[in-house]
Structure formats: structure tokens, C-alpha cells
């Protein structure tokens, strides 16, 4: 539904510019076809949703009728290779236009059609390669046991630029296994760096945090959520419950080289009576408390 509205706004803006220019276009013999332009605007909006679906963050295409998240998990949230294809598809026609102007060559048809077609073909080929390697990585994770326990759920998440090495998350009844996966071999944990994270025991503190607004929203989005409870010392005391989705636990090392960090995590502060005080954003010394509505407390 949002795509239809966005397309109306975009085409209406272009129509306004067209009227202000005196109903003139750069190519006089090419009259505007507003119905076709509206269709293209809708197609652009749908392609945006498709791009969000291919990465490991996901999208809710049927909101507000359905809160369910969908993700293909074959490309990183920001994929430099795909971005490069699209940038070249935009820039190359401009460079060739300058060359044509210098040599006096005549333009045949809309400029940029070939570059755009090649860029989209490259993106689709990249998706095909990554989907194939992703399936190999998932199959490798499913084919083995972890501490002699069969997995109940497995996922493989992408790394930027590299379609052959994945970040695997495996769920068992008692713990999660985190391991790199080489989809070429295919082999799980080729360097012996597998990490195990045991599921924390549910407590009244974590239950209270999960029932908060942020807790409900985060758990609705997260695929492998895990909590960590921090007890605040001194007066007035209380607790901070940290939420982390294990699929993003290694993101700092992938982007900045840092070992760990609460990227795309969330934290909730509660008082001693397990009342939610506010949401915490940031890490370490840069933490900021955003008070819950009606809490009567200002930000720290």
C-alpha cells in the first residue's frame, strides 16, 4: 500500500516540474506517458522491498496486516559489490555521453539503457551465486551434531563482498553454537573457532523486560535473541537487561575489526520493583536512558 502512495508522490512531483517547464521535455518527440511512469515508480518501490528482503536484516512487506519479518540472508546489509554494480550502471552513461559529445556521435534511443541492463544482470547473477553458496552453507550446518546434540534450527548469514564464507548460528535445546562456515568445501568451523552460548535461565527480571514495548518489538524482529542481565549496585539499584540477536554478534568484527559489541542490540532498565524505567541506547560510557512514557523520569 505504501508503494502505491510513494509512486503517486513521485510522479506528481515530476508532473509539477514538467508543468513549470512549460510542458517541455529534453526530447521533444518523446511525450510523457504518465501511466507508464507511475508503473515504473511502483516497480522501483517494489524493488526496494526486494533489496531489503535479500539481506540479513529483513523486511515486513505486509505490515500493518502482518508483523512477520522475512529475510533471504544471502547478502550483507550493505553489499559493496552490488552497490558497485549499480553505481557503474549510473555513472558509465554519463562518461560515454561526454565522449560522444567530444567526437560528435549521435545518440540512438534513451541513454543508459545498456548500462542499466548490464548492471541489473550482474546483480541477479550475484544473487544466484550467493543463494547457491548460502544453501551449501546451511546444508553443512544441518549435517553435523554439536556436542553430540542434533540442531533444531540453523542459519547462515553473509559477510560483505565474500560469497564463500558465512557466519553460522545453530540452535539446540540448551545452547547456541556460533561458527564460521566455508561453503566452497563445504566445512563448518574450518579453523576451530566455534563458540557456544548457553541459553540463559528465564527470571522475573528478564520476563519483565520482555513484556516492555521495546522488548516485544525486539523479540518480534530478532531471529536468535539472547539476554544478559546486569545488576545495578548502590542506590536506587535495579537492573539492566541487554538484548542481542546472535545473527549480528560478529558484525563489529566484520565492519570495524572490533571483537564484540551490541550492534543492533537493545537494553532496558528496570527498578528494584521490576518496573520499566527506560530504554538504553549506546555502549559503555555513552549510554543514554530514554524514559518510558509515564515513568516520570527524565533522561540520564
pLDDT along the chain (300 residues), means of 10: 94 94 81 94 95 95 90 95 95 82 66 91 97 98 96 96 96 96 95 93 96 94 95 89 92 55 86 91 46 44
**Terminal Cα distance for the chain, rounded:** 40
For the sheet with 225-232, list strands across it.
Answer: 225-232, 238-245, 266-270, 276-281, 288-291
- pLDDT value of residue 261: 58
Question: Are 230 and 239 within 8 A, CB to CB?
Answer: yes
Residue 142, pLDDT score = 97
Residue 284: burial class (beta carbons within 10 Å; 0-12, 13-18, 19+): exposed
Q: Which residues contact 204 (CB under 8 A, 6 or more apart)?
A: 274
Distance of CA 224 to the CA centre of its chain: 15
Cα–Cα distances (Å) from 216 to 154, 219, 239, in that order, read: 23, 5, 18
Main-chain phi, psi angles of 149, to 5 degrees: -120, 135
pLDDT for 299: 36
Q: What whole-number distance in Å separates Cα of residue 93 and Cα of residue 95?
A: 5
Q: Using CA atoms, how far apart are residues 116 and 93, in angstroms rounded to an integer?
A: 9
pLDDT for position 300: 35
Measured CA distances, 168 to 177, 184, 275 (Å): 8, 14, 36
pLDDT of the residue at 102: 66
Please give the pLDDT value at position 137.
97
Amino acid at each position: 500500500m505504501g508503494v502505491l502512495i510513494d509512486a503517486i508522490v513521485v510522479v506528481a512531483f515530476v508532473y509539477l516540474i514538467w508543468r513549470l517547464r512549460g510542458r517541455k521535455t529534453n526530447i521533444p518527440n518523446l511525450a510523457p506517458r504518465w501511466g507508464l511512469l507511475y508503473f515504473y515508480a511502483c516497480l522501483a518501490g517494489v524493488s526496494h522491498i526486494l533489496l531489503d528482503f535479500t539481506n540479513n536484516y529483513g523486511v515486513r512487506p505486509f505490515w500493518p496486516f502482518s508483523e512477520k519479518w522475512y529475510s533471504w540472508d544471502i547478502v550483507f546489509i550493505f553489499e559493496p559489490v552490488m552497490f558497485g554494480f549499480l553505481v557503474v550502471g549510473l555513472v558509465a552513461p554519463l562518461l560515454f555521453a561526454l565522449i560522444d559529445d567530444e567526437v560528435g556521435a549521435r545518440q540512438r534511443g534513451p541513454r543508459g539503457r545498456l548500462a542499466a541492463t548490464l548492471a541489473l544482470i550482474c546483480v541477479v547473477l550475484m544473487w544466484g551465486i550467493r543463494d547457491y553458496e548460502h544453501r551449501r552453507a546451511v546444508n553443512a550446518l544441518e549435517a553435523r551434531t554439536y556436542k553430540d546434540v542434533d540442531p533444531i534450527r540453523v542459519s547462515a548469514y553473509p559477510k560483505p563482498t565474500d560469497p564463500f564464507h558465512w557466519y553460522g548460528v545453530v540452535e539446540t535445546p540448551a545452547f547456541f553454537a556460533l561458527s564460521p562456515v566455508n561453503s566452497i568445501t563445504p566445512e563448518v568451523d574450518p579453523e576451530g573457532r566455534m563458540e557456544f552460548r548457553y541459553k540463559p535461565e528465564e527470571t522475573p527480571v528478564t520476563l519483565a523486560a520482555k513484556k516492555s514495548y521495546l522488548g516485544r518489538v525486539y523479540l518480534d524482529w530478532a531471529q536468535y535473541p539472547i539476554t544478559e542481565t546486569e545488576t545495578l549496585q548502590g542506590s536506587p539499584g535495579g537492573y539492566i537487561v541487554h538484548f542481542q540477536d546472535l545473527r549480528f554478534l560478529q558484525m563489529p568484527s566484520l565492519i570495524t575489526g572490533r571483537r564484540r559489541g551490541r550492534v543492533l542490540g537493545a537494553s532496558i532498565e528496570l527498578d528494584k520493583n521490576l518496573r520499566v524505567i527506560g530504554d538504553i541506547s549506546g555502549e559503555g560510557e555513552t549510554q543514554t536512558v530514554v524514559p518510558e512514557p509515564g515513568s516520570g523520569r527524565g533522561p540520564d
